[in-house]
Amino acid sequence: MTDTMTISKEKRQARTVSTIIYIFLVLLAVIYIVPLLWVLITSLKDDSTLMLSPWAMPAKLEWGNYEFAWTKGHLGTAMLNSLIVCSITLVVSMLFGSMAAFAIAKLRWKLSKLSLYYFLIGMMIPIHTILIPLFVQFSGWKMSNTLIGIIIPYITFSLPITIYIMVGFFEGIPNELFEAACIDGCSVYKMFGTVAIPLAKTGFMVTGLMSFVSNWNELLLAMVFISDETKKTLPVSLTKFVGPYHTNYCQMFAAIMIAIVPTIIAYVAFANQIVEGLTAGAVKG
Amino acid sequence: MDKLMRNKKAIILFIAPALMLFTAVLFVPVCKAIYYSFCNYKLPGHAKFFGFEDWKWLKNYKQLLTKDQTMRMAFRNSMFFMVFSIVTQLVSGLFLAALLTNIKKGRNLFKNIYYLPCVLSSAALGLLWMFVFTPRLGINQMLASLGAWGGDCTLGPQWLFNTEGYIILPIWVVSFVALWQYVGQSMMLYMAQISGISSDIYEASYIDGCSRRQSFFYITLPLIKPMVATAMSLNAIGSLKFFDLIYNMIPEGFLSHKADVIATHLYTSAFKFRKLGYGSAIGVILLILCLIMTVLINKFVKTENYDM
């Protein structure tokens, strides 16, 4: 009798604790979601109602705000530019990175460990340090106001982490597989293409995600290198459009929405894979 | 097989593109930045070495470390950011990870919600929070409409424009926004490590009469120590490089550089005032700080790897 009573008491206590935990987690989630909802709602209002009644829902949906930000704020062009820059960077950095990683992990040469360390130093170098010399160099080559001028640094900054993670994945592939391929008459290039790459798919997903997310959001380098309105990337156009000198708040909120909605949609669709992938990358980095 | 893997031509072909790009775009510019930092280099004009006689070559650094008021404030703010983010991210990241690993329902949902800002553009989020803390909109407007300050929102706290105190209010605000944005990452790192701990260890501890709290302090904490070092150095370096949020939350020139950090000081010196040599010196200092922090953290948070 006393035994069952203590058990039920413990259970009750556990239940109160977990209720408190859940209340806390929900409150925290509110802090995460409410600012985003606020931007969404405000972006559909017009300025006069925003100033009069902050709590009111928009009476009439002002899609014109979005249209203005998309065309006059150049956010449409900017999104296209970002997409071009990030896609090219993604493909090239994964190709170059996995090639180098294959050479380091599987090919046999004396300096392979040393070259890995050389690449790893790159992870500690902040982009700010090389900003000025790169800017001078690229202006000299007439590359400072072109998309290719930011694609090249982006590729380079994606390389160290890509190489590091891919080396891990390639080293995990047993050598017997390559020996078998060798006996079947494969060349080194074919081994890379038909054995190594298909077996390291997870690695490509992880590195691709990391490079895409960080380049999509990169502001400083793009802001310094590009001054031409038609070549700006999304964070730069947004930063220039939204500011103390633009006075229509609702249009600026619409611009913020345009900038974050694609990421949010992709995130909601693949949240688990994205979170796991980025964490795996950060753990290894 | 061995012969195939020693194929010199293939090795060069595989490693060359990455190696060349890395050297030309990362390694050479770092050396150049170090050289520029010893130069009198203002645009328009060319880099001119100060010369070796009586320590003239250190002129930029001397100016930077002794005379530059803005650098002093920027350095103070950056250090504050770093300490704040290391401490708060460690505590709150661990706390969230511990909570989330202990609940049964909805773990994935909460985890994904808290991680969301990490993948969003900090430029956009900075602007968002700038509006939240603008005197006429956001928090102040909402509190005023509920009756605070007699309904006048401009009487509320000037979140982003108050320049009183040693660490000014805007810096605190930005620090909390940064915590809001990046705590998900620390949380995920710790969760990944905690989920790797075998449940046998916990079962054994419960049999020995351990409470849940004890098992957290005596089993979980020691076993995730390697991850603490990783997360701490990520936070330290990330907060030293901090640029997007502060640049977008505090409009340039509004606070006469009181809210500058090292990265924004570099940006304004080099690309607003066109002092490239001076900016390079700031960049080199930033690089040295990053290296020091990485070494320090990895030295002091000793990583012992246990078998799990």
Q: Domains in chain B, start-ordered, CATH in brackets?
A: 1-31 (no CATH), 37-300 (1.10.3720.10)
Sequence-distant (6+) residues with CB within 8 A of A276 are none
Looking at residue A67, the DSSP 8-state letter turns out to be: H
pLDDT value at A1 more than 50:
no
**Predicted-assembly ipTM surpassing the 0.85 threshold:** yes
- Separation in Å, CA of B280 to nearest CA in chain A: 7
Which tokens sit at B159?
A: 């979140």
Which tokens sit at B249?
A: 């939350």
Q: Find chain A residues with C-beta within 8 A of B29's C-beta.
A: 129-130, 133-134, 137
Mean pLDDT of the A142-164 span: 91
User: Residue A189 is nearest to which of B10, B22, B119, comparing CB atoms?
Assistant: B10
B167 close to B80: Cβ distance less than 8 angstroms: yes
Q: How far is CA A210 from the centre of its chain?
A: 5
Q: Does domain A74-241 have CATH number 1.20.120.330?
A: no
Residue contact A107–B118, C-beta within 8 A: no
User: Residue A55 is nearest to which of B18, B29, B145, comparing CB atoms?
Assistant: B145
Sequence-distant (6+) residues with CB within 8 A of A31 are B180
Residue contact A104–B15, C-beta within 8 A: yes
CA closest to A26 among chain B residues: B110
Q: What is the number of alpha carbons within 13 Å of residue B140 lying toward its C-beta?
A: 19
- Separation in Å, CA of A100 to nearest CA in chain B: 4
Q: Find chain B residues with C-beta within 8 A of A38's C-beta.
A: 132, 138
pLDDT of B301 reads 74
CB < 8 Å from A in window 81-100 of B = 96, 99-100
CA closest to B227 among chain A residues: A283
First to last CA, chain B: 36
pLDDT block averages, 10 residues each, chain B of length 308: 78 92 93 90 78 79 87 92 94 92 87 92 91 82 76 74 82 93 92 86 86 84 84 89 89 78 91 89 93 86 59
pLDDT of B305 reads 58
User: Residue A128 is nearest to which of B4, B116, B241, comparing CB atoms?
Assistant: B241
CA closest to B288 among chain A residues: A125
Cβ-count burial A235-273 (b if 16+ within 10 Å, e if not): bbbbbebbeeeeeebbbbbbbbbbbbeebeeebeeebee
State how far the Cα of B108 lies from the Cα of B104, in Å rounded to an integer.
10
Residue contact A131–B145, C-beta within 8 A: no
CB < 8 Å from A in window 105-134 of B = 106, 108, 110-125, 127-129, 131-132
Q: Among A23-32, A76-85, A185-194, B1-10, where is mean pLDDT lowest?
A: B1-10
- Separation in Å, CA of A78 to nearest CA in chain B: 14
Q: Which residue has the tokens 């054994």?
A: B204
State how far the Cα of B173 lies from the Cα of B171, in Å rounded to an integer.
5
- Nearest CA to B133 out of B109, B153, B158, B108 is that of B158
**How do residues A213-253 score in pLDDT, each as one tens digit?**
999 999 999 999 998 888 999 999 998 887 666 778 888 88
Give which of A28, A89, A130, A143 to mutate to test B binding, by max B Cβ within 10 Å: A130
Q: Among A18-22, A261-265, B70-74, B298-302, where is mean pLDDT lowest?
A: B298-302
Q: Find chain A residues with C-beta within 8 A of B270's C-beta.
A: 131-132
Give which of B2, B23, B26 to mutate to test A binding, by max A Cβ within 10 Å: B26
Confidence of residue A4 (pLDDT cuts 50, 70, 90): low
Q: What count of CB pairs under 8 Å joins A to B?
A: 261
CA dihedral B132, B136, B140, B141 (to 10 degrees): -100
Residue contact A25–B103, C-beta within 8 A: yes
Q: Does B78 touch chain A (CB under 8 A)?
A: no
Please state, in angstroms and as integers, the Cα–Cα distance from residue B36 to each residue in A33, A48, A129, B25, B181, following that order.
Answer: 46, 52, 11, 16, 35
pLDDT of A49 reads 76
Residue contact A132–B17, C-beta within 8 A: no
> Which H or E run contains A194?
none
* Three-class secondary structure assignment of A75-98: HHHHHHHHHHHHHHHHHHHHHHHH
- Nearest CA to A276 out of B173, B268, B130, B112 is that of B112
- Nearest CA to B185 out of B254, B258, B260, B238 is that of B238
State how far the Cα of B46 lies from the Cα of A201, in Å rounded to an integer.
48
A255 close to A238: Cβ distance less than 8 angstroms: yes
Sequence-distant (6+) residues with CB within 8 A of A161 are A123, A207, A210, A211, A281, A285
Bridge partners of B275, per DSSP, are: B42
CA closest to A218 among chain B residues: B121
Classify residue B288 as left (phi > 0), alpha (psi -120 to 50) or beta: alpha
Residue contact A217–B123, C-beta within 8 A: yes
- Separation in Å, CA of B102 to nearest CA in chain A: 9
Q: Find chain A residues with C-beta within 8 A of B251's C-beta.
A: 243-244
CB < 8 Å from A in window 170-209 of B = 180, 185, 188-189, 192-193
**How do residues A24-50 score in pLDDT, each as one tens digit?**
999 999 999 999 998 898 888 887 777
Please state, in angstroms and as integers, the Cα–Cα distance from residue A21 to each residue in A178, B14, B214, following that order.
Answer: 52, 52, 18
Give which of A93, A274, A275 to mutate to test B binding, by max B Cβ within 10 Å: A275
State how far the Cα of B254 lies from the Cα of B235, in Å rounded to an integer.
28
Q: Find chain B residues with C-beta within 8 A of A267's C-beta.
A: 112, 116, 119
Residue contact B121–A260, C-beta within 8 A: yes
Amino acid letter at A224?
V
Mean pLDDT of the A73-102 span: 93
Q: Does B273 touch chain A (CB under 8 A)?
A: no
Sequence-distant (6+) residues with CB within 8 A of A17 are none
Q: What is the number of alpha carbons within 13 Å of residue A197 lying toward its C-beta?
A: 14
State how far the Cα of A84 lies from the Cα of A96, in Å rounded to an integer.
18
Query: How large is the greatest C-alpha to C-alpha distance in chain A, in angstroms?
Result: 88
User: Residue B192 is nearest to which of A35, A127, A279, comparing CB atoms?
Assistant: A279
Confidence of residue A285 (pLDDT cuts 50, 70, 90): low
- Mean pLDDT over each residue of chain A, to the nearest integer: 87
Radius of gyration of chain A (CA): 25
Q: Does B33 touch chain A (CB under 8 A)?
A: yes
User: Residue A275 is nearest to which of B18, B115, B241, comparing CB atoms?
Assistant: B115
**Could you write out the DSSP letters of every residue in B86-134?**
HHHHHHHHHHHHHHHHH--SSHHHHHHHHHHHHHS-HHHHHHHHHHHTS
pLDDT of B256 reads 75
Sequence ranges of the domains in chain A? 74-241
**Could you write out the DSSP letters of every residue in chain B?**
-HHHHT-HHHHHHHHHHHHHHHIIIIIHHHHHHHHHTTEE-BSSS--EE--SGGGGGGHHHHIIIII-HHHHHHHHHHHHHHHHHHHHHHHHHHHHHHHHHH--SSHHHHHHHHHHHHHS-HHHHHHHHHHHTSTTSHHHHHHHHTTGGGG-GGGS--TTT---TTTTHHHHHHHHHHHHHHHHHHHHHHHHHHHTS-HHHHHHHHHTT--HHHHIIIIIHHHTHHHHHHHHHHHHHHHHS--HHHHHHS-TTTTTTTT--HHHHHHHHHHTS-BHHHHHHHHHHHHHHHHHHHHHHHHHS---PPP-
State how far the Cα of B175 lies from the Cα of B172, in Å rounded to an integer.
5
- Separation in Å, CA of A18 to nearest CA in chain B: 7
pLDDT of B41 reads 82
Q: Among A62-71, A123-132, B45-54, where is mean pLDDT lowest?
A: B45-54
Confidence of residue A6 (pLDDT cuts 50, 70, 90): low
